[in-house]
Amino acid sequence: MKSLLILSIRKLSVGGKMQKYDGRLMYKLREFYDTVNDYYSSMEYQRELIKDKISELNKFRVEVSEKWHLNVLDDKRVVGVDGSQIMPLKEVGIPIGGIQVAKLVIIHGKGDYKIQHYSAFAGIEENISLLRFKMEIDALLDEMDGKSWLFFDGSLSSTFTADMSDRLREEYAESIKFIIKASKKTETPLIGYVDRSYAKDIAKNIGVNVYDSYLLNQTLSFMDYTEMFELEREEICFSYLKVNPGQPVRIECPLWMRDIQHEAASIVFAECLLGSTKGYPYVLERAHECSKISNEEKNDFRRLFSRDISFKWICKVK
């Protein structure tokens, strides 16, 4: 009876309700392990139920020879943007944080490149993640030249804003709409690269509650990719690509790019093969490297600007 009860509670917790336990978290590793197993069993069960439907999805494959990726990228102008941030340092009396965005432009095969940095400060009352997002979008907007391939590290769909306030949701949506429109107008390919996607668009369409990337993990082999699907109510389409042995990654593009989806997939695969891990786009890996604020820099920032130290914080760190 007791075990049945626990099982039903675990099922509920998978569905989103919180299960509380008495005692310290680290003594609950067994329960955590069981919860994870139940969670995956449930997803596995649902995946098995719709196995046939999944295998009916259109999928494609790129055939790769030794230096295929160099041929694909030769003469292509590729742009990657990423950012990092320092949250407001409340503990040391600074209600202001910082944002650093880096843009890397490379013309593959020509040996040309440029790196640009942008930075800004933001008060505690502002949403730093939103400001960073806007700065990254702005950096890409400057490159809408009709021939570059633009990479954004993250989603272009507004579904990730679902739990946010109306104001934030609107601001994100406005930025996204703006860049999608600019991409369409200038015919500049734009790729939102989501390395770990928890979207459920395909799954919901079929009628199950599983992540798409999990659903497709066994269907797609290395170098396979799905057709482009249109995202309802948004001018966006998406596809899943198996760029590495892990779960498929998701790319999101403006709807007009459906016509060049195979070229887009080739560019993404080629960029991944160029990266140091052979499984993540080179241009984003480097943009991340350039935008990163190191711990050393963060500490310098704190040291230089600290004012009134919080005694609560001293209690925590002593």
Partner 1 sequence: MVVLRVLNHRELEAEIDFCVGDFIKIGDVIGLVTSIYQEEPEYIRYMGNLEKEEVKKFLPDVFKARRIAKCLLLCTENLEDVTKIPKVGDKVEKVEDEELRQIHYNGEFKIPYLIPLLEKVEIPIIRALILKIMEIIPEEKDLLEIILAEIEYSRMRGVEL
Question: In the complex, which residues of this chain contact partner 1 (CB under 8 A)?
Answer: 66-67, 70, 73, 104, 106, 108-113, 115, 274-276, 278, 282, 286, 296-297, 300, 304
Burial 220-249 (b: 16+ CB within 10 A, else e): beebbbbebbebeebbbbbbbbbbbeebbb
Tell me the one-letter amino acid at 202. I
Question: Nearer Cβ to partner 1, position 100 or 197?
Answer: 100
Question: Nearer Cβ to partner 1, position 102 or 199?
Answer: 102
Tally of CB atoms within 10 A around 63: 6
Check: CB of residue 188 under 8 Å from CB of residue 182.
Answer: yes
CB of 113 to partner 1, least distance (A): 5
Question: Nearer Cβ to partner 1, position 203 or 274?
Answer: 274
Question: Nearer Cβ to partner 1, position 264 or 283?
Answer: 283
Question: Nearer Cβ to partner 1, position 98 or 254?
Answer: 98
CB of 289 to partner 1, least distance (A): 8
The strand pair at 112-123 and 96-107 is best described as antiparallel
CB of 168 to partner 1, least distance (A): 31
CB of 125 to partner 1, least distance (A): 26
Question: Nearer Cβ to partner 1, position 276 or 310?
Answer: 276
Three-class DSSP category at 85: strand
Q: Is 23 left (phi over 0), alpha (psi -120 to 50) or beta?
A: left
Cα dihedral 291, 225, 202, 248 sign: negative
Cα Rg, the chain, nearest whole Å: 22
DSSP at 57: S
CB of 48 to partner 1, least distance (A): 38
Task: Look at the block and give the residue holding tokens 């891990």.
Answer: 277
CB of 290 to partner 1, least distance (A): 8
The strand pair at 190-194 and 149-153 is best described as parallel
